């Protein structure tokens, strides 16, 4: 493979590049790492562009120099340590054994390797020796002996750089880490906006865009999970950038716990982005010889707007994050009984749903919450992963066998990180429940968190799940987490290590997931946390798909799925057709629209199939047939956003096959109008020179016609409609 990373010895400049991007950094006077450039590919950098030296009042200088024009308070840096006359937010904050807050990170050397090393205990993108190269830069604070290793991986074919940081205490005394960011990126003055993905339970990942002003702004989660409330992603983009034009920088953390994305615009209108684990309630006691590994951030660059950034993330997540046999495997169409029955079911009732599912061509049945302990509502039994005999008198395997006999796969719901007070597990092991000694812990959904930092808890979870999975009758698991962490404390850790609990919880969870997914490679794992409460790239490393939102309303879902697609490919998010009136919003939408929204991702049903009319059953059969035909395109094609539902009465997106021979377009309209405004839908991503035939009308268009002229959307006489167009390239 060509060299992707160059080091110019003379100018002390590192240049990471591929056909799409360049990332350039250098070692400045005093050994500080300065940031020079990240953007479109540069052909040969000759070391001329350097940060200008300017004497600025109240911006101090290096102790070893009398040069008043050189200040860390203004220099664009790669990874700043606390306490060096740089008053902006640092990447590394720590307290030394003498009580001081100081880390002067000075360049020591570098190493370039083929491929991409693993990050110990953490999920991260992976790549072979012929797919990527990695630069390791070694920094050191001479006084304390604290060392920092920065990793930069550049992928051969993607406009992405993966960054992470590791701190090692090579000194003699312990240090207290207060903040260890994964990366920092400094920009010179530009007119830029920031996009984030805030939300709430059943209302996740809305696109929020605002101008970056002076001061510091933080997008974060303090909930012990990546959260519904603020996804672990931001983009910084030119003020005029849109879906198809303008420069965009994406930052996505490969981590499922507390995160923070800080944006600080300084006195010179330079912008600093610092991202990583949230420093809220965080400290890490680092004994001499110990290391702390911060998670990875995936930096994406696009010179052509947000869609191109998303496509880079989609490819990266599909090819370098998702692992195992399901990576390239089409995912089954499932029916889940949650909204069909909630807790009220027994084996006989479920069998009727399974029978209908078989009839309709559905491929998997997922038994959701309520099958274990004595769970008739959400107040009991979490932690007791043994079958509820009243509902399954002959055991769970008996029912699973029935499902298999009908030719369907069998999936099961778990919520392994939780404990109910009303459970055998709590009676036997009250110490497993995470709480602060002497204080009553706060319930949420009347349940509590298991302290996954304890080895015994970890073993208990693995043992209970293994006991079921060893039976060999489970094909799929939905791993849920229905509350966020509070009352943060671990009885297994000493006083000075209580600031480590949030992160140790994540390390415990990742270890459990690594153990189970390795032990049971044939099981498809679906992540869930009350819908999309832990919907992140770290989770996708273990769970090839995740439940996008508990909100199954087709209209609300358009906004949720539109925002989700900013980072995540449709192959990792799941969407189900549910009953009307919708259980979350009360809205009534046409069956066809519910189908079209759900078919835009990993498809399924979440309703009582036995309650459907004959006409609706025919519609299901038709949807199932259609989805099976379009599935490879939806799950593995390129996804392009066309119309943002937040900006008008319509939402539209499309899928294009890699060879550009097939395209699938979805256009959704909301409210009908007596005097409708005529709208056009213009496509993107097609081959302008190819001709495409609409599979329904047989009309033929050139790719450039579809992209430049577009087509008129039909006038609507109903609310909440959907149109699906399927184009295939034709040769004449
Ligand atoms: C969460 C999930 C739902 C369902 C319930 C069961 O809310 O997101 O899909 O599994 O838990 O309690």
pLDDT tens per residue, range 523-570:
999 999 999 999 999 999 999 999 999 999 999 999 999 999 999 999
Cα(64) to centroid of ligand 1, in Å? 60
pLDDT tens per residue, range 619-667:
999 999 999 999 999 999 999 999 999 999 999 999 999 999 999 999 9
The protein residue with its alpha carbon nearest to ligand 1, atom 7, reads 530
For the stretch 539-542, contacts whose Cβ atoms lie closer than 8 Å and that sit 24 or more positions apart, written own/partner, are 539/123, 539/226, 539/256, 540/317, 540/321, 540/322, 540/568, 540/572, 541/123, 541/124, 541/254, 541/321, 541/322, 541/323, 542/123, 542/323, 542/510, 542/513, 542/514, 542/517
Whether residue 44 is predicted with pLDDT greater than 90 in this model: the reply is: no
Q: Which residues of 271-305 are buried (b: 16+ CB within 10 A; e: fewer)?
A: bbbbbbbbbeebbbbbeeeeebbbbbbbbbbbbbb
Among 349, 346, 354, smallest CA distance to 390 is for: 346
Whether residue 35 is predicted with pLDDT greater than 90 in this model: the reply is: yes
Q: Is 99 exposed, middle or buried (0-12, 13-18, 19+ CB in 10 A)?
A: exposed
**250 close to ligand 1 (CB < 6 Angstrom):** no
Find out whether 410 and 479 touch, Cβ atoms under 8 Å.
no
Strand ranges for 542-591 from DSSP E:
545-547, 573-578
Distance, CA of 535 to CA of 62 (rounded, Å):
43
Question: Which phi and psi angles does 492 have, rounded to 5°?
Answer: -85, -5
Whether residue 331 is predicted with pLDDT greater than 90 in this model: the reply is: yes
pLDDT tens per residue, range 463-489:
999 999 999 999 999 999 999 999 999
Q: How confident is the model at residue 148 (pLDDT cuts 50, 70, 90)?
A: very high
**411 close to ligand 1 (CB < 6 Angstrom):** no
The torsion region of residue 221 among left (phi > 0), alpha (psi -120 to 50) and beta comes to beta
Residue 559's SS3 state is helix
Find out whether 601 and 634 touch, Cβ atoms under 8 Å.
yes
Q: Residue for token digits 């009350």? A: 530
Give the helix/strand (H/E) hosting 564: helix 554-564
Whether residue 732 is predicted with pLDDT greater than 70 in this model: the reply is: no
| pLDDT in the model for residue 48 | 82
Cα(602) to centroid of ligand 1, in Å? 17
**DSSP 8-state symbol, 685:** S
Cα(332) to centroid of ligand 1, in Å? 19
550 is catalytic: yes
Catalytic residue among 480, 536, 608, 644: 480
**319 close to ligand 1 (CB < 6 Angstrom):** no
Q: How confident is the model at residue 67 (pLDDT cuts 50, 70, 90)?
A: very high
The protein residue with its alpha carbon nearest to ligand 1, atom 12, reads 369
Whether residue 716 is predicted with pLDDT greater than 70 in this model: the reply is: yes
Cα(355) to centroid of ligand 1, in Å? 23
75 Cβ neighbours under 8 A, 6+ residues apart:
28, 32, 34, 51, 86
Percent of the chain's residues with pLDDT above 90:
98
| pLDDT in the model for residue 618 | 98
Distance, CA of 532 to CA of 198 (rounded, Å):
12
The protein residue with its alpha carbon nearest to ligand 1, atom 3, reads 530
Cα(530) to centroid of ligand 1, in Å? 5
Percent of the chain's residues with pLDDT above 70:
100
480 is catalytic: yes
The torsion region of residue 107 among left (phi > 0), alpha (psi -120 to 50) and beta comes to beta
**204 close to ligand 1 (CB < 6 Angstrom):** no
- Taking the whole predicted model, whether its pTM rises above 0.95 is answered as yes
Q: Is 323 exposed, middle or buried (0-12, 13-18, 19+ CB in 10 A)?
A: middle
Catalytic residue among 356, 368, 550, 713: 550
Residue 664's SS3 state is strand
pLDDT tens per residue, range 491-503:
999 999 999 999 9
Token pair listed for 46: 């000759």
| pLDDT in the model for residue 232 | 98
Cα(444) to centroid of ligand 1, in Å? 14
| pLDDT in the model for residue 46 | 82
Mean pLDDT of the chain: 97
Ligand 1 atom closest to 413 (CA)? 10
pLDDT tens per residue, range 572-586:
999 999 999 999 999
| pLDDT in the model for residue 607 | 98
Residue 506's SS3 state is helix
Q: Which residue would you say has higher pLDDT here, 63 or 590?
A: 590
| pLDDT in the model for residue 634 | 98
Mutate to test the pocket of ligand 1, among 340, 550, 551, 604 (most ligand atoms within 8 A of CB): 550
pLDDT tens per residue, range 262-302:
999 999 999 999 999 999 999 999 999 999 999 999 999 99
Distance, CA of 382 to CA of 447 (rounded, Å):
8
Whether residue 208 is predicted with pLDDT greater than 80 in this model: the reply is: yes
Mean pLDDT throughout 311-325?
A: 98
| pLDDT in the model for residue 64 | 85
Mean pLDDT throughout 675-691?
A: 97
């Amino acid at each position: 493979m060509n060299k992707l990373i160059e080091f110019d010895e003379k100018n002390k400049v590192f240049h990471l590049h591929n056909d799409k991007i360049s990332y350039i950094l250098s070692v400045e006077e005093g050994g500080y790492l300065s940031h020079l450039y990240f953007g479109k590919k540069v052909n040969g950098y000759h070391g001329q562009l350097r940060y200008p030296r300017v004497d600025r009042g109240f911006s101090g200088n290096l102790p070893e120099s009398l040069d008043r024009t050189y200040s860390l308070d203004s220099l664009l840096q790669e990874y700043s340590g606390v306490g060096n006359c740089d008053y902006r937010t640092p990447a590394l904050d720590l307290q030394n054994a003498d009580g001081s807050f100081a880390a002067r990170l000075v360049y020591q050397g570098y190493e370039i390797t083929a491929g991409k090393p693993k990050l110990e205990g953490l999920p991260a993108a992976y790549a072979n020796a012929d797919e990527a190269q990695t630069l390791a830069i070694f920094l050191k604070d001479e006084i304390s002996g604290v060392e920092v290793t920065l990793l930069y991986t550049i992928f051969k074919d993607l406009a992405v750089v993966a960054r992470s940081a590791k701190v090692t205490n090579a000194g003699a005394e312990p240090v207290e880490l207060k903040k260890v960011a994964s990366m920092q990126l400094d920009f010179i003055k530009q007119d830029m906006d920031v996009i984030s993905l805030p939300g709430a339970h059943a209302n996740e990942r809305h696109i929020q865009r605002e101008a970056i002003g002076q001061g510091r702004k933080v997008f974060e989660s303090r909930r012990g999970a990546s959260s519904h409330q603020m996804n672990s992603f931001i983009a910084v983009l030119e003020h005029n950038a849109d879906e198809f034009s303008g420069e965009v920088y994406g930052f996505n953390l490969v981590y499922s716990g507390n995160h923070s994305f800080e944006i600080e615009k300084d006195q010179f209108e330079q912008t600093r982005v610092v991202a990583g684990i949230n420093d809220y309630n965080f400290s890490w006691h680092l004994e001499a010889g110990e290391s702390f590994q911060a998670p990875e951030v995936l930096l994406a660059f696009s010179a052509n707007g947000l869609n191109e950034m998303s496509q880079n993330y989609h490819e990266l997540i599909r090819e370098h994050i998702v692992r195992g046999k399901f990576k390239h495997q089409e995912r089954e169409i499932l029916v889940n009984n949650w909204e069909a029955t909630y807790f009220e079911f027994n084996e006989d009732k479920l069998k009727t749903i399974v029978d209908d599912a078989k009839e309709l061509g559905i491929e998997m049945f997922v038994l959701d919450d309520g099958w274990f302990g004595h769970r008739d509502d959400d107040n009991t039994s979490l932690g007791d992963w043994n079958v509820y005999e009243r509902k399954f008198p002959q055991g769970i395997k008996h029912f699973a066998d029935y499902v298999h006999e009908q030719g369907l796969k069998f999936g099961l719901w778990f919520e392994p990180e939780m404990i109910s007070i009303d459970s055998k597990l709590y009676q036997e092991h009250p110490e497993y429940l995470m709480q602060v000694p002497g204080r009553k812990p706060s319930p949420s959904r009347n349940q509590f968190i298991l302290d996954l930092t304890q080895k015994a808890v970890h073993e208990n979870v693995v043992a209970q799940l293994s006991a079921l999975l060893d039976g060999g009758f489970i094909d799929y698991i939905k791993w849920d987490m229905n509350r966020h962490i509070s009352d943060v404390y671990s009885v297994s850790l000493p006083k000075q290590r209580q600031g480590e609990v949030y992160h140790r919880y994540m390390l415990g969870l990742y270890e459990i997931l690594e153990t189970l997914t390795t032990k049971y490679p044939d099981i498809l794992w679906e992540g869930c946390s009350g819908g999309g409460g832990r919907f992140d790239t770290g989770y996708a490393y273990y769970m090839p798909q995740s439940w996008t939102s508990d909100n199954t309303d087709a209209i609300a879902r358009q906004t949720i799925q539109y925002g989700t697609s900013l980072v995540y490919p449709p192959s990792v998010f799941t969407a189900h057709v549910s009953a009307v009136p919708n259980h979350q919003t009360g809205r009534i939408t046409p069956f066809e629209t519910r189908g079209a929204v759900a078919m835009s991702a990993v498809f399924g049903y979440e309703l009582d199939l036995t309650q459907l009319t004959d006409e609706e059953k025919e519609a299901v059969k038709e949807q199932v047939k259609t989805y099976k035909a379009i599935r490879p395109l939806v799950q593995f094609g390129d996804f392009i956003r066309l119309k943002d539902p937040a900006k008008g009465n319509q939402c539209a997106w499309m899928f294009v096959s890699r060879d550009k021979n097939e395209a699938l377009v979805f256009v959704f309209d909301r409210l009908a109008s007596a005097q409708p405004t005529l709208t056009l839908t213009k496509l993107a991503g097609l081959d302008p020179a190819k001709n495409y035939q609409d599979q329904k009308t047989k009309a033929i268009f050139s790719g450039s016609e579809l992209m430049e002229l577009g087509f008129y959307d039909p006038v609507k006489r109903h609310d909440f409609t959907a149109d699906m167009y399927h184009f295939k390239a034709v040769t004449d």
